[in-house]
Structure 1
């Protein structure tokens, strides 16, 4: 009954938003009363030559590690929808702008700066970090979305919308879920509108044919996942902003244009446990632990993983790994993690002092897991603060594993570009003669403008090619090649 009342009260407000949506190429969403906002920036957007519209900026917590201790800082977050082109104006409220950058750097967005104001244009949707005077912990996370084709008000009337029994609708405003949890029934669509904030967790548990959509924010009052998919099939999550979105024991899951930002311990972004056929497309992760993982048996979910793809995405690990594969599994009934693909990804940061947990691209086989057929392609790694470019190991980490992994096989790195100066020595290491790392192929690995290849000019014949890239190729490895 409470959810139905939410639909009735807020639907009329969103009717106004829908009319604007039908006429304009630019939509902004006023923040609801009661949400904590941030005043470090004033953000305005407009169609070229049109009237400026303000983008409200929320406070969002991020994790800064200083001297091995965690410090929660408050950054800014704003979002809007557009098509065609849009002009963006950002005024910094704490003095002059000495330096400014818009990341990912691969987008080539160079802002124009005048005193305390920076401006730039966008010709396509982007998930961005706007950073002033080198401050990455009080930055502006600016999510420029495509026009939302999932808006249920499109092409219908509010009266008809209210009769839809397959829809659970949250309009603009703050909503607190009864019991802090909404378990979505099979066949239902949940829509969280722009300007809405849902306090709690929206979950797909033991269901199928579920959609969780919108532009709003979903997060618990404290720590924990705002979205989760558990033992379910055929689930779509699209467009929302949250803290974490794990997937466990599930099949045929698509997570698209979802943004997850966390600040607390164990704040992994997009975990996959014992699931198959999972697609992440256009996601943004800034997390206080691993951004995205693939594990076997773990957290009550049992089985291996197959056909996991992440593409067109941005990863920012304030702690631990941007990409981490393989540490957890079933020792008694060994599992396989295979057909894992990471394509067209920007990695903005990696900060990890512990050597056991470093690696932007990390495959650490434990618990008798066999990990095979992994592809990293078209990945751009910026100058992260501390860690390794890659880490491929079969290991026995007694803190988290009951046995070493069985093997790592057939891993392909293509068009990997790293530009930076903070990378420590990367590692490719097997465990013993039965538990090996083999068939690791690099094609067009470029480090600070230098292509690393077996026949690269200037490489002494007695050097391993990995030495030229500060990659230690250790014992129990075979078939490691650089082209």
Structure 2
């Protein structure tokens, strides 16, 4: 009964609107959890700090030296991998070499990050909302962590040669090598035959924290699959994790370039990190899928960090019941969040019950006006987008773009028709601090393809709480104060304060 109550509680948290998991989905989840693929060994004492060594042949970066210890314990050095990121200069893309390290811990740890070359005049730890207390001594910054965090450490304002530090929770899963339903990738570099490792149904894949896979992890036409561990898919592998036309899939703890969910149902992606540097390097796409939870992830990408679409790339249907929460988004190009561009003009679809909660947006950089917006809902391909909720989201001073872009549009480059509309969208407790945001846009298409019922609750821009009852010239629209252009075929825009 405890297990059943836990699943019901998960369902209620996952679907904040009227939709709930069906009995068949609950039954499938129960069968999955009781299956051999999900079996854990007997509970064992867990260490408070676990570090991993890099496998021989892994590509490392010596920009930083990173050490970690349990409070008052012995320092342990952890490797720093080389990860590429995308730097756009005058419209041209340039690969930069940044760093990545990871470890697991519980309780409290102390971290020391040393800049190997040059003077460390300043250090910054992001997201800024974490309010990390730091101590910069010479070329080393010291700080403490009391909970799992995915953070960026930047010296002298350099965001392209920074350290991405992924401090994970201690793993609760202990792989049983004797379990015939376990596929185990141990320490070392693994060359995947054909570049793709297809995972059968009812299997658990475990990737050790000292393992690097040179090939894609593919879940296709499968059910009841788990992908766990602290290892990584090599950055040379595009679309490192792909979930296609599958059901009951759980992915946790890995590093990859991208993680796509298409044509699937009942998918959870937790504590996965994606960093891409190549063209079309979207982080986490959701296409024609339902009942998807993305939790505690870090996406730094060379295209959209997160998307929700309908029909796309052979996956068919709308998308419903999507939750994206407790995560960090960093768009070196395009959008941190994009909903709605792709669908099916011949068979119009609905994208609905979509929630983004407790996010930090670290950057947005896009010169093309058609593709701006930290929050972008762009209804094309006859899509109707409704019941969308953005809540408790903090936006830092991104480099170039708009805070939001809500449009029913016909983008002939990517769409075959305009969308049908956008309705019932809530922006609650959104804060933006910065000076680089240009005018945001809210605009419908025609009298039959409108935007309606958009609520901004406790929208705060540079410390100013914006509401319809605020003090302003009577002839100003509240949207003018927010820096939003509200165009034609838009109705029901309200700004309220509840704090």
Specify the TM-score bucket, using the shorter chain as the normaliser. Answer: over 0.9
Distance in 2, Cα, partners of 1:162 & 1:327: 44
Question: Which string of whole-angstrom CA distances, capped at 9 and with x for unpartnered residues, describes residues 74-115 of structure 1?
Answer: 100000000000000011111221111100000000310011
Match of 1:46 in 2: 69
2:185 equivalent to 1:162: no
Alignment of 1:1-16 (within 5 A): none
Q: Conserved in 1, the CA contact under 8 Å of 2:310 and 2:318?
A: yes
Distance in 2, Cα, partners of 1:351 & 1:402: 27
Q: Conserved in 1, the CA contact under 8 Å of 2:379 and 2:419?
A: yes
Q: How many correspondences in the alignment? A: 454
- In the TM superposition, residue 55 of structure 1 has moved relative to its aligned partner by 1.1
- Look up the SS of the partner of 1:50 in the other structure: coil
Match of 1:479 in 2: 492
Q: Conserved in 1, the CA contact under 8 Å of 2:303 and 2:334?
A: yes
- Look up the SS of the partner of 2:250 in the other structure: strand
Match of 2:456 in 1: 442
Q: Runs of 4 or more off by more than 4 Å in structure 1?
A: none
Question: Which string of whole-angstrom CA distances, capped at 9 and with x for unpartnered residues, describes residues 109-140 of structure 1?
Answer: 03100110100000000000000000000000
Q: Tell me the C-alpha RMSD between the 2 structures.
A: 1.0
- Look up the SS of the partner of 1:186 in the other structure: coil
Distance in 2, Cα, partners of 1:253 & 1:319: 26
Match of 1:371 in 2: 385
Match of 1:312 in 2: 326
Match of 1:409 in 2: 423
- In the TM superposition, residue 202 of structure 1 has moved relative to its aligned partner by 0.6
Q: Conserved in 2, the CA contact under 8 Å of 1:151 and 1:214?
A: no
- Look up the SS of the partner of 2:129 in the other structure: helix
- Look up the SS of the partner of 1:234 in the other structure: strand
Distance in 1, Cα, partners of 2:78 & 2:333: 29
Q: Conserved in 2, the CA contact under 8 Å of 1:294 and 1:325?
A: yes
- In the TM superposition, residue 223 of structure 1 has moved relative to its aligned partner by 4.5
Match of 2:222 in 1: 207
Question: Which string of whole-angstrom CA distances, capped at 9 and with x for unpartnered residues, describes residues 434-466 of structure 1?
Answer: 000000000000000001100112x11111111
Distance in 1, Cα, partners of 2:137 & 2:180: 52
Distance in 2, Cα, partners of 1:372 & 1:232: 25
2:143 equivalent to 1:129: no
2:476 equivalent to 1:463: yes
Match of 1:242 in 2: 256
Match of 1:251 in 2: 265
2:196 equivalent to 1:181: yes
2:169 equivalent to 1:146: yes
- In the TM superposition, residue 163 of structure 1 has moved relative to its aligned partner by 2.3
Match of 2:96 in 1: 73
Match of 1:156 in 2: none
Q: Conserved in 2, the CA contact under 8 Å of 1:58 and 1:76?
A: yes
Distance in 2, Cα, partners of 1:28 & 1:22: 16
Match of 2:7 in 1: none
Match of 2:234 in 1: 219
Distance in 2, Cα, partners of 1:467 & 1:151: 56
Q: Conserved in 1, the CA contact under 8 Å of 2:215 and 2:237?
A: no
Distance in 2, Cα, partners of 1:136 & 1:275: 34
Unaligned 5+ runs, structure 1: 1-17, 153-160
- In the TM superposition, residue 23 of structure 1 has moved relative to its aligned partner by 5.7
Match of 1:101 in 2: 124
Distance in 1, Cα, partners of 2:161 & 2:133: 20
Distance in 2, Cα, partners of 1:223 & 1:393: 34
Q: Conserved in 2, the CA contact under 8 Å of 1:219 and 1:225?
A: no
Match of 1:12 in 2: none
- Look up the SS of the partner of 1:468 in the other structure: helix
Distance in 2, Cα, partners of 1:383 & 1:162: 48
With the length of structure 2 as denominator, give the TM-score of the two structures.
Answer: 0.90
